Amino acid sequence: MKILVTGATGYIGKRLIPLLLNDGHTVVCPVRDFKRAENYFKEKENVILVEADYLNADSLDNIPKDIDIAYYLIHSMSNSAKEFHALEEKCAFNFKKFAETTTLKQAIYLSGITNDTKLSKHLLSRKNVENALASEKYALTTFKAGIIVGSGSSSFEIIRDLVEKLPAMIAPKWLNTKTQPLAIRDVLSFLHNALDRKELYNTSYDIFGPEILTYKEMLLQFAEVRKLKRTIITVPIMTPKLSSYWLYFVTSTSYKLASTLVNSMGVEVIGNKSDINKILDVNPMSYKEAVKLAFKKIEQNSIVSSWKDSYVSSGKLKNYVHEFINVPEYGCFKDFKKRKVKDKERTINRIWAIGGETGWYYGTFLWKIRGFVDQIFGGAGLRRGRRHPTQLNAGDALDFWRVIFADKEKGKLLLYAEMVLPGEAWLEFKIEDGVLYQTATFRPHGLAGRLYWYAVMPFHWFVFNGMINNINK
């Protein structure tokens, strides 16, 4: 069959597509940024990659119309609470309008559990999207999931940050909110097994794990798995704003995303029972089993997708990495250095391992200070790290940078700064004719940008000089 997967570069999409390909299906992947996706999908057969944006109805003409099944995995396109619900509904409307002109038989939508009488804006938006997707021309199957637990998921990484960084926590009262966490592997099983199941046409099911847990219990069970002793005291006086700051400073989430999560975490996520587990032969694992499985993936460096690679994790880039691939020349300050390379392959491997646990090869203390300052002013800081210790693809998050271009064969890596700056910054590594070129480019915004550059220039000289020397060592 020919299957359309929206959100192909997202957390769920990247994990679902290999399952469909293994079954012999052809998978159509509409992506907003072709440059970002082509490296990831170039080695996969039976993938049709097209550039299309569901916010732009005209661009959907690029998508083939002879499709059988579609997965609708598009969620919030913005980290602004003022606009995400409108954007989500617009995407759903445009999808439906396009899908009704195709041969589509079934659309499968992954939503969130919406049974509480007082829903957060995000969960209410999920409900509205489900209503917008319903059609008389094709069948809609909706799965409403609880908290998703898996390597790289936002909930898993936030809980991990809290548990591993804080021996004791004075936490907000929403930690007593009840939820039913579900392993990412089980989410994929539901989505995969529902493919072209006629008995599921025009139906909606809640999918959830076997336990009802509070967020506090999830933190403590996580600590048990990690063999850590943790103390948690909840207090009723912590406002949503203070709770958001608490999450922002301790975990790797951005402040805007933390605010959204806090609003959602006050809502109970308890599913309605049904026979869907029996129908699709899925036996969801416990929360502890899901955590253990996630750490196996982490230890094996086999994290397929991470929420940190989403643009929402910083909010500075919107949709397209290729808009930043041409580094500007006019009106810019540059720090340029070059070294003759003795071992090209080894040098490239060191470049590709930069950041994260490896660090930046020189002035680690100064990098940490810059990350802390960035965090104070609302930036990502160094907390995001990197998804894989040696692999980089366009669009990946890399500490407080974003990968714009990564090609080992060409010996070129280009990063764009997502730190808080009075301007824009790029960092490029390039090997040509046996010479390593390292260029830091800064395009200032006004007088503040120019003052900033001159203020950090002495530090740049030491840091960038030491960095290229150690990369080439």
What pLDDT shows up at residue 238?
64
Q: What angle do CA 311, 312, 314 make, to 5 degrees?
A: 80
Ranges in the chain, pLDDT < 70: 36, 39, 42-43, 76-85, 116-124, 237-240, 252-266, 300-325
Beta strands in 317-467 (DSSP E): 333-340, 397-398, 401-407, 412-417, 423-432, 435-444
Six-digit token string for 236: 């009723």
pTM for this structure?
Answer: 0.75
State the DSSP H helix or E strand holding residue 109, giving kind and residue range, or none if neither: strand 106-112
Give me the pLDDT at residue 77, please.
46
- CB environment 421-441: b (16+ within 10 A), e (fewer): bebbbbbbbbbeeeebbbbbb
pLDDT tens for residues 406-442? 888 889 999 999 888 898 899 999 999 999 999 999 9
What are 100's two structure tokens?
């009704």
Amino acid 394: pLDDT? 82
Q: How many CB atoms within 10 Å of residue 183?
A: 23
169: Cβ contacts below 8 Å, ≥ 6 apart: 162, 219, 230, 231, 232, 233
Fold of 2-307: Rossmann fold (3.40.50)
2-307 and 314-471 share one fold: no
- CATH number listed for the domain at residues 314-471: 3.30.530
Torsion angle, CA of 382/387/390/391, rounded to 10 degrees? -120
What pairs with residue 196 in β-bridges? none
> Is 108 strand, coil or helix?
strand
380 secondary structure, DSSP code:
-
What DSSP line would sit under 149-195, residue for residue? ESTT-HHHHHHHHHHHH-SEEEEEGGGG-EE--EEHHHHHHHHHHTT
- What distances in angstroms separate CA 188 from CA 104, 153, 284, 293, 347, one per listed residue? 21, 13, 11, 14, 39
Residue 53 near residue 31, CB atoms below 8 Å: no
CB of 6 closer than 8 Å to CB of 191: no
Give 340-349's long-range contacts (Cβ < 8 A, gap of 24+). 340/434, 340/435, 340/436, 341/431, 341/434, 341/435, 341/436, 341/472, 342/472, 344/411, 344/431, 344/434, 347/431, 347/436, 347/471, 347/472, 348/408, 348/411, 348/431, 349/390
* Domain ranges across the chain: 2-307, 314-471
* Residue 79: predicted pLDDT: 47
At residue 385, the pLDDT reads: 83
Both tokens of residue 12?
Answer: 């769920």
pLDDT in tens, 213-224: 998 999 999 999
